[in-house]
């Protein structure tokens, strides 16, 4: 099983700041099969990034994904109030597919 | 508009069974791969199962293999998850998700249905 380790567990930032979230895989993952999801309290998750770096439909360009192999990054260039949420990375290259444990982005 | 609506959750005793349904609309259901993803209270996301209709490929998480069965009724645009031998650790909100195939996965999610396994 591919284990995805997300860091940090919690990121406390102010609106307008840059957020950098890390996702490290226990073995190399084909970048086409790495995604990022945002979840707000009481809501279903929402797809942000697929294929490691492609934004999903309707996702603002302040969200960007990068990385390959075992190291992937989600960057939010300037945090808006609606961006404070939990973010999960997900690999769907190898079954069983796996999610990271999430990074919570809190308002500082 | 794409919609996924789960149903069938509820309270069940350990060792019991439950069948979840996901009603799909707004797209050609039979052309898409589908998943179940769950989330225990206060916890993160856990992928549960996947089905690809083109070659009938099915995958399960190790935690549910042998107990859960994913299936579809393409005539009725329904996705199912038959859950047997339920355990307390299966307590979660269960989401169905759509996969357009290729590099995109879980592009649409239902609102979820809560399964509680408790005596």
pLDDT digits (tens, 9 = 90+) for A8-67: 999 999 999 999 999 999 999 987 899 999 999 999 999 999 999 999 999 999 999 999
Q: Which residue of B has its CA nearest to A50?
A: B104
Q: Residue B101 pLDDT more than 80?
A: no
Q: What is the pLDDT of residue A53?
A: 95
Q: What is the pLDDT of residue A66?
A: 96
pLDDT mean over B34-49: 97
Question: What is the C-alpha to C-alpha distance for residues A67 and A88, in angstroms, rounded to an integer?
Answer: 15
| Nearest chain B CA: its distance from A79 CA (Å) | 22
- The DSSP annotation for chain A comes to ---EEEE-SEEEE-TT--EEEEEEEEEEE-GGGEEEEEE-TTS--EEEEETTTEEPTT--TTEEEEEEEEEEEEEESS--GGG-SEEEEEE-SSSSPEE---EEEEE-
How would residue B100 be classed by pLDDT, with cut points 50, 70 and 90? confident
* Preceding amide of B46 cis, omega within 30: no
Best A1, A35, A46, A47 member to test B by mutation, with max B CBs in 10 Å, is A47
């Amino acid at each position: 099983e591919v284990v995805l380790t997300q860091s940090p567990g919690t990121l406390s930032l102010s609106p307008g700041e840059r957020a950098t979230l890390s996702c490290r895989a226990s073995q190399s993952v084909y970048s086409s099969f790495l995604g990022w999801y945002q979840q707000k309290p009481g809501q279903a998750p929402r797809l942000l990034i697929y294929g490691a770096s492609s934004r999903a439909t309707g996702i603002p360009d302040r969200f960007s994904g990068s990385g390959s192999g075992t190291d992937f990054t989600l960057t939010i260039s300037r945090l808006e109030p609606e961006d404070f949420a939990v973010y999960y990375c997900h690999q769907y290259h190898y079954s069983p597919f796996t999610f990271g444990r999430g990074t919570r982005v809190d308002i500082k | 508009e794409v919609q996924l609506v789960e149903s069938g959750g509820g309270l069940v005793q350990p060792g019991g069974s439950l069948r979840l349904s996901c009603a799909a609309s707004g797209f050609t259901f039979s052309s898409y791969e589908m998943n179940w993803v769950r989330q225990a209270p206060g916890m993160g996301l856990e992928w549960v199962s996947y089905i690809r209709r083109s070659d009938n490929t099915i995958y399960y998480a190790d935690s549910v293999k042998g107990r859960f069965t994913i299936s579809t009724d393409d005539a009725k645009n329904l996705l199912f998850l038959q859950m047997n031998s339920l355990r307390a650790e299966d307590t979660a909100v269960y989401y169905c998700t759509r996969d357009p195939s290729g590099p995109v996965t879980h592009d649409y999610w239902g609102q979820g249905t809560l399964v509680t396994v408790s005596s």
